[in-house]
Structure 1
Amino acid sequence: MRKAATAAAVALSVIAGSLTFASPASAATLTQVDDFGYNPTNLQMYEYVPAKLPRHPAVLVAAHWCTGSGPDMYNYTEFASLADQYGFIVVYPSITGDIKCWDVASDAALKHDGSSDPAGVMSMVRWEIANRGANQHQVYMTGISSGAMLTNVMLADYPDVFKAGSAFMGVPYHCFYTGTFRGWNSDCSTGNITKTPQEWGDLVRVAYPGYTGPRPRIQLWHGTQDEALNHHNLGEEIKQWTNVLGVSQTPVFTDQPQSIWTRTRYGNASTQPPVEANSFQGYGHELPKPGMALLALKFMGLAP
């Protein structure tokens, strides 16, 4: 266990040290919400509520990276300033305790209405709907690194809640499974787990047995030189979500907005396809870059 813990600590330091961020968010107030409901892992909830909102605003959950926090996610990404511009609420969940990575590894985390971090995050969404009049049909998810892993998990656990998500440098749902609370799966992080589309898709479907409703769309981002979470995981995510959403693994649209950037769309060629993947040649564990948050909002439907 000591060796595994040491390896995880080294991996976390790599992740934290290699992340770079956009300019700080809007200077408006970030507010902590207490007593937001079922919270089995003692998470903290922060919200950003712009002054101008529609009567029933959309909600974006923005999950931080390993060693980060909700206030860090607020301060060092563009989502709050974009919320001012486009009129939606941002929820920033925040981990407490010694392990600062989201639980995407335990049985309790990897199921609908479980009893770990995803359940606490879901309580935050329900609080926004009940107390802010948020639109229950316009709930979205994004995250960076460990937060991107959580994005994959929330879309799998709660397909009836989330309409779309955007994951910056994540891994497929269930890839990080260890059976332990906030465990570290080195095989997944280093890109040594490969499954068929059907196998990946079945894992998502098992998360919510009997669910037959619509599934959220997903946008994926990854750098080819990512040493913290290997780029191999992008291909595995594509296999998983194209299978879940019932579209071909062969992209129907491919372009290069920049020479280092390859964008592929699956299912249709619109700006809001079922699955979109963005790969950046030579980039490490350093996303999102300035401007990418806006593209995530456009994909999800939070910005025109």
Structure 2
Amino acid sequence: MRRWIAATAGALALTAGLVAAGPPASAAGLTPVTGFGTNPGNLAMYSYVPDALPSGAPLVVALHGCTQSASDYYTHSGWPQLADRLGFAVVFPQTSSANNANSCFNWFEPGDSRRGSGEALSIRQMVDKAVTQYGSDTRRVYVTGLSAGGGMTANLLAAYPDVFAGGSIAAGLPAHCAGSVTAAYTCMYSPPDRTPEQWGDLVRAAAPAGTTSWPRVAVWQGTADTTVRPANATELRDQWTNVWGIGQTPSRTVGLTGGTTLGVYDDASGRPAVEVYSVSGMAHGLPVDPGSGAGQCGSTGTYYLDTICSSHHTARFWGLDGGGQDPGGLPAPTGLDVTGTTDTSVTLRWNAVAGAESYQVFRGGTRLADTASTAYTDTGLATGTAYRYTVTAVDSAGRAGAASPAVTATTTGFSPTCHTASTYDHTVAGRAYANAGRTYAKGSDQYMGLWNTFTVRTLKQTAPDHYVIAGC
């Protein structure tokens, strides 16, 4: 009863104007995942995993706003587009009206936002599940969220700095700004003007004792946001720059598209530790920029505002594009193309970039090689396997610029393999798909039976992304 009362009031504490509820998470490509732990926060887990994603890829956790859903965030935020383009898995946690009357994450509830309890622990358990199921790189796990999801993101970064390498907070609140419904109102409309050290102390108190390594944090805020006031972005900057032990004066300021100003705060080594993106004239919501260009992603909708693709710039800040984090670097190479494949190799070429001294080649987000040429052959690969590549240009000062759009290459040859599992597990693993409660083998479209954990079938993979029912 306490939780229900707090949820009813707390929904209003971060939902002023959020009235259009998203549909249940059932969009094509978005997969429900069960059995991810004790789930003390009573959340649902959904995931999006690109085809042929190799093990060791990054993982992004994306938290929706109030009255939204995993499906809503999947549809509009742009993260699935970037996952396809750059090669990483995305987990979409989902809360419900059973937790909060307006389906907000309970960022203001201490029992839901502390390490080892409530919703925060449920999300931590989702990370463990994804790492096991998709082979995600534990060193490259990131979290992002909008509004109430942004408030929860800040708390997760404070509670689990040993889990999350970076975070992005859109129209959100400083970590542990509120511990009650009343305080939540204060934080939204007139956040406490604490000193940077006081804000930083809230993070240090929430983290495990002795923590010395902190996540890199991006902050997104519209200057015309009347639901979560822009002052929150200033307090977030103060909080996380203090945690990093750096000042509150930006190392540099960069003008971006969509009326956006970026303030970059470098750590002692010269790498961006905190970035603050201020979008002029934007109201409450997540910045998106629909389109197919290298810097575009997302689609417009309620609280998804056409200005700039925040998810693209966030991914770049985290290094998910395989390139550097300096927006002032060289432009991305164009024309990246696969010119040849064998059983064990892939040959690439790209257009030269003016001012480039060399190029960095990345496979699956991991730096593979440096070359002065505009062509490269990757060898020693597995047969019949898909690989994703990006390339960055490096200037005379050794700075890597923006990464090219990714290309996917599949080596020739194939060794058939057999897989025995339930129809549900086959769909989770990407060997089959479900439609209207029935399961079909991917590629051959053979009917396998009802979609559940009880019907067991053996599938034989006869080619990349092609499976048949077989008695191996």
Q: TM-score, normalised by structure 2?
A: 0.58
| Aligned-partner residue type, residue 248 of structure 1 | G
Listed as ranges, the matches of 1:262-301 within 5 Å are: 262-267=261-266, 273-290=272-289, 291-301=309-319
**Counterpart residue number, 1:24:** none
Listed as ranges, the matches of 1:7-26 within 5 Å are: 8-9=11-12, 12-16=15-19
Q: Give the greater-gyration-radius structure (CA).
A: 2
| TM-aligned CA distance change 1:206 to 1:274, over 3 Å | same
Question: How far apart are 1:86 and its partner, in Å?
Answer: 1.0
Q: TM-score, normalised by structure 1?
A: 0.88
Distance (Å, rounded) in 2 between the aligned partners of 1:165 and 1:126: 17
| Aligned-partner residue type, residue 60 of structure 1 | V
Larger proportion of helix = 1
Q: Residues 14 and 147 of structure 2 are in contact (CA less than 8 Å); yes or no, is this contact kept in structure 1?
A: no
Deviations 1:193-232 (A, max 9, x none): 2211111100101112413231000000001110110101
Question: How far apart are 1:98 and its partner, in Å?
Answer: 5.2
The size of the alignment, in residue pairs, is: 292
Distance (Å, rounded) in 1 between the aligned partners of 2:278 and 2:265: 14
Structure 1's consecutive aligned runs of 4 or more residues displaced over 6 angstroms after TM superposition are: none
Distance (Å, rounded) in 2 between the aligned partners of 1:92 and 1:7: 22
Distance (Å, rounded) in 1 between the aligned partners of 2:10 and 2:149: 20
Distance (Å, rounded) in 2 between the aligned partners of 1:135 and 1:195: 36
Of structures 1 and 2, the one with the larger relative CO (CA 8 A, separation 6+) is: 1
| TM-aligned CA distance change 1:272 to 1:102, over 3 Å | farther
| TM-aligned CA distance change 1:33 to 1:9, over 3 Å | same
Q: State whether structure 2 residue 196 is matched by structure 1 residue 193.
A: no
Distance (Å, rounded) in 2 between the aligned partners of 1:158 and 1:258: 33
Distance (Å, rounded) in 1 between the aligned partners of 2:31 and 2:10: 35
Q: Residues 252 and 269 of structure 1 are in contact (CA less than 8 Å); yes or no, is this contact kept in structure 2?
A: no
| TM-aligned CA distance change 1:294 to 1:270, over 3 Å | farther
1:166 to 165, 168, 172: 168
Q: Residues 52 and 87 of structure 1 are in contact (CA less than 8 Å); yes or no, is this contact kept in structure 2?
A: no
SS at match of 1:229: coil
Question: How far apart are 1:42 and its partner, in Å?
Answer: 1.1
Residues 287-296 or 167-176, more deviating: 287-296
Q: State whether structure 2 residue 136 is matched by structure 1 residue 145.
A: no
Deviations 1:41-63 (A, max 9, x none): 21000011110312222110000
Residues 94-103 or 213-222, more deviating: 94-103
Distance (Å, rounded) in 1 between the aligned partners of 2:92 and 2:177: 24
Deviations 1:159-211 (A, max 9, x none): 00111111111110011321x7xx87110010242211111100101112413
Distance (Å, rounded) in 1 between the aligned partners of 2:285 and 2:268: 27
Question: How far apart are 1:110 and its partner, in Å?
Answer: 3.7
Distance (Å, rounded) in 2 between the aligned partners of 1:272 and 1:16: 40
Identity %, equivalent residues: 36
CA-atom RMSD in angstroms: 2.6
Question: How far apart are 1:125 and its partner, in Å?
Answer: 0.1
| TM-aligned CA distance change 1:87 to 1:11, over 3 Å | closer
Q: Any unmatched runs of 5+ in structure 2? A: 22-26, 290-308, 324-472
SS at match of 2:276: strand
Q: Any unmatched runs of 5+ in structure 1? A: 20-26
Question: How far apart are 1:107 and its partner, in Å?
Answer: 2.3
| Aligned-partner residue type, residue 282 of structure 2 | Y
**Counterpart residue number, 1:52:** 52
